[in-house]
């Protein structure tokens, strides 16, 4: 099973063979799964106890120049009602978030050409000026090194860029030919090199995914060693090429969360909204499988429904304060403790 092969600078490092990983990627034996989740919880507890970090998510644009086949806000989605938040609206979201106790703001959006480097720098600087000690996380896709550097200098600390799949052929089946896995991976290594805390990750159950490609995802995470790992089930989105495909498996998503925790013990791993969308206590069960972060929504209620990456997304009708309280209650009922500190990766 999971063999501990060493201890470096206080970190326990676990190794698993390809055969072991493939076994746990696919097992549907309830006892084996529970053993896997218990192991992941145990690893998480060693570094983070039962604390769960809160990140305030601001979805500031649903305009996108890319045409990812799975995504509900892809450029080709002609029925999507597009929106952009103004700097003032973004700052109002931050003020609300700060009032609710958040110490991390995550700015996520499509790859929207309106938000030039200058505009992103302006936004990051404005947030940084008001909140000198908060973490600012960007999730705005693939950029040139110079752009990432400018955002970092302006005050951004973290960057989320899921690799989506670490297999070239699979990547090509999920994206148009203009996009490449090599470029996405390069972005991740560049971000890390600049000094960002970097988040990679992938969806579970995308069309053409196999246990072997999931194994490659785990091996890529081991290679990149990101501070954060975002994993959620694929959920079909209307008016996309994959609208008729099956959604990802809830249990398999939990297994991938648990395996990521075991392989990257200190990673910050969110229990994602997508996980909560396909099962009523999905996020709580994500925490029980080794996750330690939640990302409640801070976006203005008026635009929530429009940031529809996939169908039936939860929490689109609530105010930020309701999401904050609801999440706290959910977390506590499963024995976890909300932690409103900034929550950088454990060192």
Tokens linked to 15: 């190794």
Rounded to the nearest whole angstrom, what is the least distance from the CB of residue 77 to ligand SAH in the complex? 11
Contact indicator for 249, 233 with CB cutoff of 8 Å: yes
Contact indicator for 329, 283 with CB cutoff of 8 Å: no
Q: For ligand SAH, give the closer residue by CB, 108 or 157.
A: 108
Q: Which of 123, 166, 235, 264 binds ligand SAH (CB under 6 A)?
A: 235
Cα–Cα distance measured from residue 292 to residue 295, given in angstroms and rounded to the nearest whole number: 10
Q: Which of residues 124-163 bind ligand SAH (CB under 6 A)?
A: 139-141, 161-162
Q: Is 137 exposed, middle or buried (0-12, 13-18, 19+ CB in 10 A)?
A: buried
Q: For ligand SAH, give the closer residue by CB, 69 or 336.
A: 69
Q: For ligand SAH, give the closer residue by CB, 140 or 298.
A: 140
Residue 238: CB atoms within 10 A of its CB come to: 13
Q: How many residues bind ligand SAH (CB under 6 A)?
A: 20
Q: Which of residues 43-82 bind ligand SAH (CB under 6 A)?
A: 70-72
Q: Which of 198, 203, 308, 331 binds ligand SAH (CB under 6 A)?
A: 203
Tokens linked to 285: 């069960």
Is residue 274 near ligand SAH by the rule CB under 6 A?
A: yes
Rounded to the nearest whole angstrom, what is the least distance from the CB of residue 335 to ligand SAH in the complex? 28
Which sign does the torsion angle of CA 196, 168, 231, 219 carry?
Answer: negative
Tokens linked to 225: 């060693």
Is residue 120 near ligand SAH by the rule CB under 6 A?
A: no
Which sign does the torsion angle of CA 92, 96, 97, 98 carry?
Answer: positive
**Contacting positions for ligand SAH (CB under 6 A):** 70-72, 108, 110-111, 139-141, 161-162, 164, 203, 232, 234-235, 237, 274, 309-310
């Amino acid at each position: 099973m999971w063999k501990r092969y060493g201890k470096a600078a206080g970190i326990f490092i676990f190794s698993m063979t390809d055969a072991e990983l493939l076994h746990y990627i696919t097992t549907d034996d309830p006892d084996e799964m529970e053993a896997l989740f218990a192991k992941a919880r145990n690893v998480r507890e060693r570094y983070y106890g039962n604390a769960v970090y809160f990140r305030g998510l601001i979805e500031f644009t649903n305009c996108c120049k890319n045409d990812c086949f799975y995504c509900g806000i892809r450029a080709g989605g002609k029925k999507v009602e597009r929106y952009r938040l103004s700097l003032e609206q973004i700052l109002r979201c931050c003020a609300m978030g700060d009032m609710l106790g958040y110490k991390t703001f995550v700015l996520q959006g499509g790859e929207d050409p309106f938000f030039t480097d200058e505009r992103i720098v302006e936004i990051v600087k404005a947030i940084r000026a008001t909140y000198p000690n908060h973490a600012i996380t960007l999730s705005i896709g693939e950029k040139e090194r110079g752009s990432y550097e400018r955002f970092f200098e302006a005050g951004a600390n973290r960057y989320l860029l899921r690799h989506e799949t670490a297999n070239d052929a699979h990547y090509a089946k999920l994206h148009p030919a203009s996009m490449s896995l090599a470029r996405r991976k390069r972005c991740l290594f560049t971000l890390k090199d600049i000094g960002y805390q970097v988040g990679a990750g992938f969806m579970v159950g995308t069309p053409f995914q196999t246990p072997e490609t999931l194994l490659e995802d785990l091996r890529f995470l081991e290679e990149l060693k990101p501070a954060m790992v975002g994993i959620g089930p694929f959920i079909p989105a209307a008016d996309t090429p994959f609208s008729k495909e099956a959604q990802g498996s809830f249990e398999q998503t939990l297994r991938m969360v648990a395996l990521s925790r075991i392989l990257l013990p200190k990673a910050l791993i969110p229990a994602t909204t997508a996980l909560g969308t396909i099962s009523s206590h999905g996020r709580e069960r994500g925490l029980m499988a080794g996750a330690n972060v939640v990302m409640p929504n801070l976006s203005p209620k008026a635009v929530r429904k429009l940031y529809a990456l996939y169908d039936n997304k939860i929490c689109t009708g609530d105010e930020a304060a309701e999401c904050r309280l609801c999440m706290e209650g959910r977390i506590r009922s499963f024995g976890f403790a909300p932690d409103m500190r900034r929550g950088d990766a454990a060192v």
